[in-house]
Amino acid sequence: MRAHLNRGELPGAASTDAVDRFKRLLHDRALRVTDIRVAIVKAALSRVGHFTADELVHDVQALGFQDPRATVYRAIPLLLESGILQPTVVSGERRLYEVAFGKEHHDHLICNRCGTVVEFQFEAFEMLQRDLAEKHGFRLTAHFHELIGVCASCQESERHAS
């Protein structure tokens, strides 16, 4: 039984990689590897789609930690810095995050009428992005690319409506 529908599984190996990356960050900063920090990483990794800090707090709580609020909030910057999570826009509502690790390619075409999401990948984009990053001296760790619009069938209904 699952408390949330919004769960996914990362292949075991990928999850391990992510945890390793996180541990490396902790080590580099002379911070400690604790059970709850590892639990937070795993809870984050098993999320699918966008989620709030609060949802993550609940997931970690469901894992048996009493009041992980403060600890989760304190861990989020670490998750961002280690590239496990990334912040998301989408709608301008609450602060949202999503898993970035292992999902470096994230290209969506979204209909903001009906919510349809078309995923796409376009090698030409990748190349341009790499060039651009290099030009500015950045090392890319992820990207977020969403094209928002109105899909064909919603354009159709719009026409009827007016």
Partner DNA sequence: CTTCATGCAAAAGATTTGCAAGTTC
Partner DNA sequence: GAACTTGCAAATCTTTTGCATGAAG
Q: For binding to DNA (CB under 7 A), which residues are involved?
A: 26, 30-37, 52-54, 65-71, 73-76, 94-95
Considering the complex, what minimum distance in angstroms separates the CB of residue 35 from DNA?
A: 6
For position 49 contacting a second copy by CB under 8 A, the verdict is no
Residue 121: strand, helix, or coil: coil
Q: In sequence order, what are the residues at sequence separation of 6 or more whose Cβ sits closer than 8 angstroms to the Cβ of residue 149?
A: 109, 110, 111, 112
Q: Are 60 and 41 in contact (CB under 8 A)?
A: no
| Binder of residue 71, out of a second copy, DNA, none (CB less than 5 to 8 A by kind) | DNA
Considering the complex, what minimum distance in angstroms separates the CB of residue 160 from a second copy?
A: 11
Candidates 31-39, 41-49, 62-70, 151-159: pick the segment binding a second copy (CB under 8 A).
151-159
Report the relative pairing of strands 117-119 and 107-111 from DSSP bridges: antiparallel
Amino acid of residue 45: L
| Binder of residue 117, out of a second copy, DNA, none (CB less than 5 to 8 A by kind) | none
For position 155 contacting a second copy by CB under 8 A, the verdict is yes
Q: In residues, how long is the chain?
A: 162
Phi-psi region of 102 (alpha: psi -120 to 50; beta: other; left: phi over 0): left
Considering the complex, what minimum distance in angstroms separates the CB of residue 70 from DNA?
A: 3
- In the chain the first and final C-alpha atoms are separated, in Å, by 47
Binding stretches for a second copy (CB under 8 A): 28-29, 76, 80-81, 83, 86-92, 95, 97, 100, 109, 111-113, 118, 120, 122, 124-125, 128-129, 132-133, 136-152, 155, 161-162
